[in-house]
Amino acid sequence: VGSSPGDAELTPRQEQPAAEDAAFISIQAFPALLDLPQDLAVSKVSCGSRHTAVITRGGELYTWGWGKYGQLGHKDNASSDQPRRVEHLVAEGLRAEEVVCGPWTTYVCVLE
């Protein structure tokens, strides 16, 4: 069986960090188990091209992955392999109801 030039693109690989990136974020081709605090029950999840967001039953939003464009919602462009709660929503008394991750964005529907 011959191979075509496009076959190499299907090989799982890790992305190397750009020089300006402070943290190395592993881009995985397969699902991986993730530890969240035991008292958190996830009710919704959305995946972008390089980041993930979950909403807990309590209405908290946690995000992780590639954050170069601020899509993680932590008021910075940092990336993280570990879920971090979006503190801005907590500080404003907002409850996350829905989340949709795009390639470089995250849309959240909240209730006061």
CA angle 81, 79, 31 (to 5 degrees): 35
Confidence (pLDDT) at 27: 59
* Rg, C-alpha atoms of the chain: 16
4 within some domain? no
8 within some domain? no
44 beta partners = 55
89 within some domain? yes
Residue with tokens 């879920």: 83
Confidence (pLDDT) at 32: 73
Name the domain count of the chain.
1
Q: Two tokens at 76?
A: 């910075």
Confidence (pLDDT) at 40: 85
Stated length of the chain: 112
Under the banding of pLDDT at 50, 70 and 90, the label for residue 28 is low
Q: Which residue segment(s) compose the domain that 85 sits in?
A: 42-111
22 within some domain? no
Q: Two tokens at 16?
A: 């190397």
Q: Name the pTM for this structure.
A: 0.74
Asked if residue 110 has pLDDT above 90, the reply is yes
98 within some domain? yes
Under the banding of pLDDT at 50, 70 and 90, the label for residue 74 is very high
Q: Is 98 helix (H, G, I), strand (E, B) or coil?
A: strand
85 within some domain? yes
96 within some domain? yes
Q: Two tokens at 90?
A: 């907590």
21 within some domain? no
What are the two backbone dihedrals, phi and then psi, of residue 9, each rounded to the nearest 5 degrees?
A: -70, -20
